[in-house]
Amino acid sequence: MAFSLASKNALVTGAGSGIGQAIALRFARAGAHVMVADVNLPAAESTVAMVHAAGGRASSLRLDVTRDADFTEALARVPEIDVLVANAGIGHVGTLLTTSIPDFERMLAVNVTGVLRTLKAWMPGMIARGRGAVVVMGSTAGLEGLVDRFSYSTSKHAVVGMMRCAALDHATSGVRVNAVCPGRVETPFVRARLAEYPDPEAARRDMSSTQAMRRMGSPEEVAEAALFLASDEASFVTGACLSVDGGWTAGMFPRA
């Protein structure tokens, strides 16, 4: 089945690289006009160039999800959309003891309040028009605890809870709200993290072992899941966490 976003306008935050970029590219191939939003405008413009090179339609937008002023400007430029993907986020490594209060507050500002600002910016218009699809970027770390990712896991648990409450509050509005919850995905952030290890290949094998399929996912695989949730074929799906994690959260499995 080919999922279509033909004639729809989509906005994807954090679309300058990684999963957000893959979602923007996939949505464009599915027929959407994609507003590529990112705090790094040159990165957003690079994604737009990739969309155009593939024959798709896209525009760029600088958006810092921690700044109210950026949303005021963004709404003036993009008042109506059909599909919203709240993907912008950051990572952090650390335990409760090694995570500083400023690091924790930064994580919440981007990953939690940033998602809240994004939903509050465009969901009211969707609700007023009686239609729309919202996809937030969760994580397996938002479904269970994750060692050495105290602030990140906390933030993603909050995002999953936010998604579920928004879905319930507006279930009869014509607007669906869902989450994609990836496992470990080989994004630029993960590759940079791997490069810090004395033995990057050993670290890669260790990270891959947390998935039952014994490999990390790709941004493109997450994008396919986001496309389904954004499409009309998911018309009876709201409040769902679609795990794209190679079996991470399915249950216990040998990790040796």
CA distance 20 to 40: 13
CA 105 to chain centre: 20
Spatial contact of 50 and 72, defined as CB atoms under 8 Å apart: no
DSSP state of 89: -
CA distance 6 to 88: 24
| DSSP reduced 3-state for 59 | strand
Spatial contact of 133 and 167, defined as CB atoms under 8 Å apart: no
DSSP state of 113: I
- 54 C-beta neighbours (distance < 10 Å), count: 11
CA distance 194 to 115: 27
CA distance 61 to 171: 29
Catalytic residue among 84, 152, 160, 181: 152
Indicate the helix (H) or strand (E) that contains 197.
Answer: none
Catalytic residue check, 152: yes
Amino acid at residue number 240: A
Show which residues are catalytic. 152
